Amino acid sequence: MSKHHRPTVLVFASGSKDGGGSGFRELIENSQPGGVLNAEIVGVISNHERGGVWQIAQEYGIAFRHFAGPYNSTNCAEVVWEFKPEFVALSGWIKPVMGIEPEKMFNIHPGPLPEFGGKGMYGHHVHEAVMAAFHCGKVTHSAVTMHFVTENYDEGPKFFEYPVLIRASDTPDTLGARVNKIEHGWQSFITNLVVSRQISLVEGHVVVPDWYKKMNFCPTELI
């Protein structure tokens, strides 16, 4: 690969009918000259036809596709390969994506995995579950997690896990706001490590540089 090559990335982002898509916006802005993400965002997919993600795509001139399902391997592969991306990033996407090689597709999740992942565990639902576990004395931290994507929700191999301390005064809303801020701070930086192939998935195993293993956000199974 040429050192001047910018890997191409297709983003899946749900947002909402009225807004959302802040993670998608961060990826776009950080892929601009001077940003930490050396990649070209070639398009975005959303399950809302004229929602917040569509609005952001219009603002930045990013190709947009509405994808209403069904979310099976055939349909997902067709919508992805229309763009021929080198990588697929799920950023606030709440539907399944199937039929794409796991080494090419990764997700960011607003909670610890696997404990707070799976079908129905997204957004506010994650923060509510984490706070319930905190009040039962089961956890002291939430997390921002990134992982490669397999066909089962949130079960793909992890490569980033940033702990977020839960405060005694926290509510699902305050915890969620803090987790979201950390997501925005790290998503583009870690995404850049993946698209530059410093972090990769080889025969089902995550491979990371030695320097990365020394960082506190490296999952323990990679150390």
Non-local CB neighbours of 144 within 8 Å, separated by 6+ positions = 108, 109, 110, 160, 161, 162, 164, 179, 182, 183, 186
Amino acid at 149: V
Contact 190, 199 (CB under 8 A): yes
CA distance 23 to 188: 9
Active-site residue identified among 4, 5, 66, 109 = 109
Tens digits of pLDDT across the chain (223 residues): 455 789 999 999 999 999 999 999 999 999 999 999 999 999 999 999 999 999 999 999 999 999 999 999 999 999 999 999 999 999 999 999 999 999 999 999 999 999 999 988 999 999 999 999 999 999 999 999 999 999 888 999 999 999 999 999 999 999 999 999 999 999 999 999 999 999 999 999 999 999 999 999 999 999 8
How far lies 7's CA from each of 10, 13, 31, 49, 173, in Å?
10, 19, 11, 27, 35
- H-state helical runs in 61-165: 73-81, 124-135
CA torsion angle for 33, 102, 177, 56 (degrees, to 10)? 50
Is 109 known to be catalytic? yes
Contact 159, 206 (CB under 8 A): yes
